[in-house]
Amino acid sequence: MKKLLLIVVTILILGSIVMAGCTPAPAPAPEPTPPTEPDWTPPIPGMLKGEEDIKIEVEWGIPMPRENPPEGFDLTYSEYLYELMTEKTGGRLTFTNVSKTTMGKIKEMADLIGSGMIDMGFTPTGDYYPDLFPLSAIILMPGWGVEDGVKNTALWTANCQHPLVETEFARKNFRYLHGAPGTPMYMTIRKGKDPITSVADLEGLQVRGFGYVSIWAEQLGMIPSFMPASEAYEALQKGILNASSYSFPDIESRRPYEVCDQMINVSHRVGGGGGNMGDFNLDVWNKLPQYAKDALFRVVPKAWEYAAETNKKCIDSGREIAIAKGVKFVKLPPADEAVYLNARKAAWEAWVADVEQRKGGEKVKEFIAECIVIRDNITGVPWTLYKP
């Protein structure tokens, strides 16, 4: 019995050894698959595959005299911006100036851009187009701008990129893109007039005025006459006008010192510079690849810096030229200066009353309140002239 038990145990042990020998060893871990190289790398950040073959030429037009960069600056603000943009997109988005042809007058620019006759251009604000763009008139409202060119440009762009203003522009099939570097405007008096020593001396003077600026001038007893800026020099020369608004960069290009010898040294509004393209045809804009749109927004601040430098040099140069040519800078007495500036409030009241009657104008007070917050943040100076 013991022998039998021993035999059985032996057989079981031998069987287990045999079975263990028959069990296959675990398979080795597979070799890691080497990473595959991407078949395409975007040459421009944000570009999608297929967009590297897209090349777009944008034609931009300007119906006004090209602004003159000061010595040491070879390009205008717009030309500098477009060079940056062309470089940023690797030459896939280029800009061609078609201003050598007769594009049309400034009041026709909204139609030229909206209809697609040109891809891009400069359109004035609601002062020129109160029926089309009433809210955008805030940009050139008396008192809205400041002396700082960079802050002015940021304020201009923020206003034009407000959703309500974008809606205004979209109705005409274009999109505002970037701000013109605005410069302060000063009242300039023609030669032969008695010295300006108080606000009372302005009464009865014929002044070039348009839009809501005319209402401010009327509050001071002046008589506004609408005419293009290009005609103001001759009108002053002939005595048809007694006064007109000029900025310091205008001194060199438009030579008002030849027909004017007084400048009130208090800015009443801000104007845009010639040659600053800010409006895209909406259809053209929508066809741009997203990376190109992103690139444009990235380069605009750098172009602003360039504009600020050129503006400062133009302002300094213009002031020096005016002084050398005998222009007297009038400093109104404090009480008169307050009257001069406070008269702007009437223009704001008229603007609100006018805009409320137009499409989208029912939101004008809400719009102004939001813009005041933006302005306070940009300028660091609380707005007090007019609040709805």
Residues 33-77 pLDDT 10s: 666 656 788 999 899 998 988 899 998 876 544 556 667 667 777
Percentage of residues in the chain having pLDDT higher than 70 = 83
- Token pair, residue 326, equals 């005998």
**Longest alpha-carbon distance in the chain:** 147
Q: Reply yes or no on whether the pLDDT at 191 is more than 90.
A: yes
CA atoms in the 13 A half-sphere facing the CB of 294: 7
Say if residue 203 is in the same domain as residue 306. Answer: no
Q: Is 181 exposed, middle or buried (0-12, 13-18, 19+ CB in 10 A)?
A: buried
Most confident of 178-182, 286-290, 313-317: 286-290
- Min mean pLDDT across 79-93, 101-115, 138-152, 320-334 is at 101-115
- At 210-235, the pLDDT tens digits run 889 999 999 999 999 988 888 999 99
Select from 264, 293, 316 the last residue of a domain.
Answer: 316
pLDDT, position 315: 86
Provide CB contacts within 8 A for 341, sequence distance 6+. Answer: 143, 266, 268, 385
Say if residue 168 is in the same domain as residue 69. Answer: yes
Say if residue 148 is in the same domain as residue 234. Answer: no
Say if residue 207 is in the same domain as residue 66. Answer: no
In order of 23, 28, 178, 294, 347, the CA distances from 120 in angstroms are 79, 66, 12, 17, 31
Say if CB 113 and CB 120 are below 8 A apart. Answer: yes
Number of domains in the chain: 2
Domain assignment present for 370:
no
Domain assignment present for 201:
yes
Strand-strand pairing, 223-225 and 279-281: unpaired
pLDDT, position 124: 73
Say if residue 334 is in the same domain as residue 223. Answer: yes
Domain assignment present for 30:
no
pLDDT, position 22: 53
pLDDT, position 9: 44
- At 204-213, the pLDDT tens digits run 999 998 889 9
Say if residue 222 is in the same domain as residue 341. Answer: yes
Say if CB 199 and CB 340 are below 8 A apart. Answer: yes
Say if residue 257 is in the same domain as residue 294. Answer: no
Q: Terminal CA-to-CA distance of the chain, rounded, Å?
A: 116
Give the pLDDT band (50/70/90) at residue 133.
confident
Domain assignment present for 383:
no
Say if residue 157 is in the same domain as residue 117. Answer: yes
- CATH code of the domain covering residue 165: 3.40.190.170
Say if residue 228 is in the same domain as residue 116. Answer: no
- Token pair, residue 275, equals 């040659």
Say if residue 264 is in the same domain as residue 300. Answer: no
Say if residue 160 is in the same domain as residue 218. Answer: no
Domain assignment present for 39:
no
Range of the domain at 154: 54-181+273-316
Domain assignment present for 76:
yes
Query: d(Cα 170, Cα 164) in Å, to the nearest integer?
Result: 10
What mean pLDDT do residues 131-152 have? 86
Provide CB contacts within 8 A for 42, sequence distance 6+. Answer: 48, 49, 52
- At 248-281, the pLDDT tens digits run 888 888 899 999 999 999 999 887 654 455 788 9
Neighbour tally for 68: CB within 10 Å? 15
pLDDT, position 258: 96
Domain assignment present for 176:
yes
Domain assignment present for 14:
no
Say if residue 154 is in the same domain as residue 132. Answer: yes
